[in-house]
Structure 1
């Protein structure tokens, strides 16, 4: 879906300008997104497999929920909307913990330059994955993976089936979740 997004400068500051997401991707304009990592009290991470029809990283495993922020939307509003849209889960803003703001650049083709700043949040998942309702146009599958198993893959740089967010990003998320679990 093409939506209006806010344009950021290369340092992640708002420019006061907006454009369609497709225009931002065509011209490589920085724009804000949200990443939401769900984890369980048993030390598992929820991953989504991106739909095979996605323009970027089709059929790869990714963060629990991710999406673009609409123009004028704050990160918390975007998280609540994206979580509801992609996995059918309603959460309260108080359940969210913002852990960072990360710059990301991927040139997929001459016509798709994805320059984003990810607002990264954690949220504990308190229900079964089987109760989640995936948005078929965005998500092919959902699964839980133990943090220790995922951390081993990150350390070994063995992530060919995952979106390439980078080991530093993945390590940061893992460490922030482990702090909350006290493992």
Structure 2
């Protein structure tokens, strides 16, 4: 019975983390109260503190979880230049732009994460570096650290492009921003010596 209890508690905690990650990306961290998050998970407010000491702990956990999921999604692409191009095109697509809650945690939450606790910013940093290192490994399979700065620049450009496209009221202009972003990201990836 105790074993079931522990597994059930872990499954419940993971459900809270997953629904919180989606809600944070859709409504923002500050716009997502504990009552709403727990209702999303089908639980009462009181159950929250059986799993987390504070909302800040949940935020850090959810950010890390979202970045792990993004890394796994990136890792599902072919580990070569073609896979990298697919990744860029999928990231800078109208579908991704229009689907906040299933999209990139960086593009949805970057401004808020910058104002979060050190623990959340550390969780974000650790998670985003996994994503960056995956891109760097595709750029320079024999020496990924040599491509880390370029990978970080490409990712930053993609995140900013997606954020700008989401903010524009003119749909045609927003689509043009995405299209130019794909062109710019691919040009940056191809710039300099190939390794």
TM-score class, shorter: under 0.3
Q: Decide which structure has greater helix share.
A: 2
Greater strand percent: which structure?
A: 1
Structure with bigger RCO (C-alpha 8 Å, 6+ apart): 1
Bigger radius of gyration, 1 or 2?
2
